[in-house]
């Protein structure tokens, strides 16, 4: 054999069958007798043949690829969501193209244009703040879109989220039961539904226990460790200081803990920290941090399910899936 890449014609010649038969065997698109199937598969193995995905996409008008945008794979929460998506898509023979936006609108736009150029069959994404118009354009183009974790405010599409109001309320009520009355909250950008839902959960928990939900205890950041540190310092500069801080994600929590360490403030004895992203790391982490366990893996599976359902039936009504979180008490 030569070093050139084998084609479907090479496989057909070696197996002594038509190219149509090879296509049926490789794509499992029609019945082929066991004898011919085995001849084709032997030729495929011998020639190390790989089907031409571009040619197949031109014939079927699908690429069997899904594009997905997440804020930051360094956050364990997003890694679990991606795993759920990949596990579900692989069962139906789909591949995943993944991009990190770092919550930047220009990165989201760049990736969406890339996905359009690659003709992905559907897009799953954690939408960036201010990125509604880019995503709405895809929806209007009838491209299957699933918004994960964050619900768009300007348009309708398939969505899957965790119940952030309930999750935050569980964490704040736990802190109140421990005697805390001045509880700060650090969320992401205020334009995102996830941030507003967490503030609502914080507010509901405080008011239900007849505590004042003063806006001075709310700090918005941008989901990064550095922004979490800055937000914590703003809270800790207030007099009196908060006795507890609830943080909306794992990376900002690291920043909050760093701010407390720099000020030599014992955790949880003087200021207690709770967080919205759980991780196995926190089981051996010091200081101990109580967390809201978001159903991250199930969110990924559900997002993939919604995309596949939309591909199977483009005219189906939009579906909104809301998954329930739980509380992992470590303090």
The per-residue pLDDT for 5 is: 77
Residue 3 pLDDT:
56
Could you tell me the end-to-end alpha-carbon distance of the chain, in angstroms, rounded to an integer? 66
Average pLDDT (12-35) is 87
* CATH class of the 164-293 domain in this structure: alpha beta
Walk across the sheet containing 158-162 and list its strands: 95-100, 65-70, 122-125, 145-148, 158-162, 320-323
Q: Look up the CATH number of domain 8-51.
A: 1.10.260.40
Domain boundaries, the chain: 8-51, 63-162+296-325, 164-293
Binning pLDDT at 50, 70 and 90, where does residue 212 land?
A: very high
Question: Helix H segments across 131-249?
Answer: 132-140, 164-177, 193-208, 225-236
Considering only CA atoms, which of 208, 209, 171, 173 is closest in space to residue 187?
171
Candidates 210, 235, 209, 203; CA nearest to 220 is 235
Residue 130 scores a pLDDT above 90: no
Length of the chain: 331
- Per the DSSP assignment, residues forming a β-bridge with 66 are 96, 122
Residue 274 CA: distances (Å) to CA of 53, 121, 176, 328: 47, 39, 12, 10
The CATH classification number of 63-162+296-325 equals: 3.40.50.2300
Dihedrals φ, ψ of 208, to 5°? Answer: -70, -20
Query: What is the per-residue pLDDT for 9?
Result: 87
Confidence of residue 61 (pLDDT cuts 50, 70, 90): low
Residues in contact with 234: Cβ distance below 8 Å, sequence separation at least 6, in sequence order: 219
Query: What mean pLDDT do residues 74-99 have?
Result: 94
Tens digits of per-residue pLDDT, 270-291? 999 999 988 888 888 889 999 9
Which residues are within 8 A (CB) of 33 and not within 5 positions of it... i.e. 6 or more apart?
none
- Indicate the pLDDT class of residue 49, thresholds 50, 70 and 90: confident
Beta bridge partners of 226: none
pLDDT for residue 118: 86
Model pLDDT, residue 62: 67
Strand blocks (E) in the chain = 65-70, 95-100, 122-125, 145-148, 158-162, 183-187, 218-220, 244-247, 272-275, 290-293, 320-323, 326-328
Query: Are domains 8-51 and 164-293 of this chain identical in fold?
Result: no
Q: Closest Cα partner for 276 from 237, 235, 229, 228?
A: 228
Residue with tokens 């591949």: 95
Q: What is the mean pLDDT of the chain?
A: 92
Q: SS3 for 101?
A: coil
pLDDT at 52 over 90: no
């Amino acid at each position: 054999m030569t070093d050139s890449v084998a084609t479907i014609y090479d496989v057909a010649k070696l197996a002594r069958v038509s190219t149509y038969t090879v296509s049926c065997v490789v794509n499992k698109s029609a019945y082929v007798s066991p004898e011919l199937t085995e001849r084709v598969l032997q030729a495929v193995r011998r020639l190390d043949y790989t089907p031409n995905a571009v040619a197949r996409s031109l014939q079927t008008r699908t690429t069997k690829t899904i594009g997905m945008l997440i804020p930051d794979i360094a956050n364990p929460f997003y890694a679990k969501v991606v795993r759920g998506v990949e596990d579900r898509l692989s069962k139906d023979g789909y591949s995943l193209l993944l991009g990190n936006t770092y919550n930047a609108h220009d990165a989201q736009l760049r990736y969406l244009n890339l996905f359009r150029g690659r003709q992905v069959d559907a897009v799953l994404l954690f939408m960036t703040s201010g990125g509604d118009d880019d995503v709405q354009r895809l929806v209007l183009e009838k491209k299957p879109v699933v918004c994960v974790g964050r619900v768009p405010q300007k348009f309708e599409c398939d969505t899957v989220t965790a119940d952030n109001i309930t999750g935050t309320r569980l964490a704040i009520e736990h802190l109140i039961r421990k005697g805390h009355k001045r509880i700060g909250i650090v969320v992401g950008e205020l334009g995102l539904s996830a941030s507003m839902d967490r503030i609502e959960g914080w507010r509901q928990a405080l008011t239900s226990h007849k505590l004042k939900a003063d806006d001075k205890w709310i700090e918005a950041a941008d989901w990064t460790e550095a922004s979490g540190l800055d937000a914590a310092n703003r809270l800790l500069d207030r007099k009196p200081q908060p006795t507890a801080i609830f943080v909306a994600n794992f990376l900002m929590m690291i920043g909050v803990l760093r701010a407390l360490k720099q000020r030599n403030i014992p955790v949880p004895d003087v200021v207690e920290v709770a967080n919205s992203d759980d991780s196995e790391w926190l089981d051996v982490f010091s200081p101990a941090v109580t967390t809201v366990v978001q159903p991250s893996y199930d969110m990924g599976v559900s997002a993939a399910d919604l995309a596949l359902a939309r591909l199977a039936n483009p005219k189906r009504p939009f579906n909104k899936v809301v998954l329930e979180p739980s509380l992992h008490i470590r303090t």
